[in-house]
Structure 1
Amino acid sequence: MPFPPSQLPRQLVDILADLSTVLFSRHMDADGTITYGWFSANVEAVFGYGAPDLTLTPKGALNAVHWADRDAHVEAVRASAAALERSVERFRIVTAAGETRWLRGSAQPSRNPDGSVEWEGAWSDITEWMRAEAHFQTVMDHAEDVILTIDAHAGIAWGNGAVERVLGWSIDELRGRCLATLLPGLCGMPEHIDPARCDLADTMRCFLRGTQEVSAIRKDGSTFPFEMTVSEVRADGRLSLIVIGRDITRRRQLERALTEGQKLEALGRLAGGVAHELNNMLGPILMNAEMLGRTAHLDERNQGRVARVIEAAKHSRDIVRNVLAYCRNQPQPLAPLDLAQIFRAFADLAASALPPSVKLEAHAPIQPVTVVGDPAQITQVLLNLANNASDAMGGIGILAVDLAVVPAGEPAAQAGLDPARAHAEIRVADTGCGMSPATMARIFDPFFTTKPIGQGTGLGLSVVQGLVKAMGGAISVDSQPSRGTVFRIIFPLADEAPP
């Protein structure tokens, strides 16, 4: 049993022994019983067992074969006997010393007149090759980029772990498919042809070599920008493609943010110039309105109108000063102020500025509500929210604006403010069209607007949020489609009274 067959030259046996290749003869009776007739003399060097110690399990597997591979190995042997085709075998063994090794080989079957089958074959120790492959796979799986190999005739052949992380497909699901499964926009097949009928050789023509940005599709059907490099490899007369790509969604978001920032910077310079010109024009308007109020003989009604002109001009002057200070990157000084007084002044101003079909309901406490802030900025914030509410209601509806003192506790904590301090809360509620969750998540983004082109810049609410945060406050929104919108602004109460 331990000797090689006489028909093999001794030199060949010695060479195979040096290559850690074990020769064997296998026999299967007509009733399916499997036995091994002989092993080459180097069997002990590979298995750790001498030939007499290699016994068989009841199913016909060698006792040295790893328990997890025994059934598959025996099934492959029986399938080879049934089809009389060469068996290609790869399995693990556990040596006498307890070491796990990988063997790979093949055996050619022949059927005897009595129905039994004989195999002459060889197994080679491929342990080092398998370890190297496992190490390579581990390294590739930790790469951030998607890496795929595509065979000209067999489709997608291999991929790393990033394939599933980025695209949602396991490599087993993709193996054998056309690359168009992931990149349908580049496929040259007509739309009416089922991709399953695609000639995989067309893959070589559909996908351009080099680096390009494409739209990739995940397993769930979602798409995203994908930058990929396609390289061509020819080996053993066979053509393959290597695709290396990455999800560039974040890069595109950063590029858009940079572009919007540059637009905002340019708009800031423009706003600074416009504000300077407006400031020059507001001076004469305010001066003449004050002179008219002092010298003209006006009845009480017209005196009130002049007073409102003066108040609006002063408010406009303060807003212009804020714009100039912002454009020049000059922080506005904040001081304690009575928010209730500013709130009542805003209510009077809004009542004359809003359309008559918008009913304004404003409620504020009689006693002072002291916070730290800037009066013009707070008025600007409230007017912006009031105008947005009027637009959302189509100029018809109810705008409820309330000011209240909120005790210390959870609302402040949810807004990221000190929960141990009491706060002033301004609530601006409308009966307008409301917003979807997707829209509500973006309303504070610069340049985001739901208004038609020419009717909105998308800067209003982003500026509102910036002003509120700069004064130490927080703003939140709650809305549902067809249910209206509620904005809440909270400011910490100040420890000292306004001057």
Structure 2
Amino acid sequence: MSPRRPKKASQLATALIEHNSDAIALVDEAGTVLYANPAASRILGLPIADIVNSNLFRWVHDADLQTMRANFEKTLAKPRAPIPNAFRMRHNDGTWRHIESVGVNWLDTPGIRGIIINYRDVTESRRSEEALREGEARYRQLTEQATDIIYNCDLDGRFTFVNPTATRLTKFSEQELLGRHFLSLVRGDHRQRVAEFYERQRREYIRSTYFEFPAIAKDGTEVWVGQNVQIVEEQGRAVGVQAIARDITQRLALEDQLRQAQKMEAIGRLAGGVAHDFNNVLTAILGSADLLSMMLDRDDPKWAEADAIKRAADRGAALTRQLLAFSRPQRAAATIVDLAAVVGSMEPMLRRLVLEKIAIRVTVSRSPLPVRADEASLNQIVLNLIINARDAMPEGGTATIDMGEAELGDPLAATLGLMPGRYAGVSVSDTGEGIPPDILRHVFEPFFTTKPADKGTGLGLSIVYGIVKGLGGTIEVQSEPGHGATFTIYVPLVGT
């Protein structure tokens, strides 16, 4: 048995070498190939006969040749020590293959007398690694440059990744957000709803959901976000969620503005129709009252009754004119006038209009503010706003009128429902008690008033709204309880 064992061992070694998927070559101290297995033939695309007796370095890329030779010298200097190497070899088809090899010096071993080099073609794995790196770079670029918030959370709801937009909108740094529970950013009165939504998605394994909520930034500002949330899986098991969230604050404001404009338009049509019909009734009443007064002597007690009817009808007619001013603002007499000059000329009259304990401050524009309007309409706008400011300060205070040119660009112009451009701006501020949020959204509606029934009709601000809209502008109000209110109108500038 013993004499046959070496023969079997030799056959086994030969079979292992010949059928190995890695290339195996035996070279001498000069790099000349003494033996190559079939895998070496496949790597180079050459017959084995063309490989044997050729120098190994002839197929190495010029850029890798110096490093290849240096490692070969190390192999010569360190017998039996495996020396790794990495280089490119030219295939017979002209392409370059990435090779990783390990060489071992067996020159002093009888029966071998050469350097055994194991080669492995790693071209495809290199390409895969490069594609992976490029994919990661593209993903990183997309997430870093995205205008939407992109974040990942674990199953507990704590941030594991946030992109730069998340830090920009929330005002928290990346370090402050990572590990933080996402519910801590949700406004308190929405927190339970969002938590239930998130928990339901996890519990029922809903792969993708969408919901909206207000988030509170580090500086206290509120940002409404709408987000798509998807469950992240690894090996078929949920490990967290990934979300893409968009700032929808402006969109919601525009939607609310559109709803308000539609409501005001509907109210205006209704008010105009009522005023027109009511005006017809009043015309008949006024005519009858006039005829009755003419038929009676002034000493007749009935004359006083007829005159009372006429005066009441006159008040009703004035009310219908206000309604019509809201529903159909007059534009026929519009010319180019200097808004700054018009407001400035009203200052003496406005001081007489308010109480003695109310101070009026007027900041006059340094340059003209030409707008297309009729002076009477501008007078009515300012007059109504000052009366509103006066009524907001029964105990006294300060009403301030500021004027100036405003350059409105996106997104502010869109938020106000205007085209981007140059506008004349006039704001009237008071130091009263301010307007609660639940009342603020109704202030321009006709007949809406918080005053007693005998103190106002609720048409002053709605008339201002109608006139300003008729001039192609808009009006906005800013107020907080305890901090007064500021009404600002914007009218397009012309001729400059």
Please classify the TM superposition score into its range, dividing by the shorter chain length.
0.3 to 0.5
Structure having the larger proportion of residues in helix? 2
Highest CA radius of gyration, 1 or 2?
A: 2
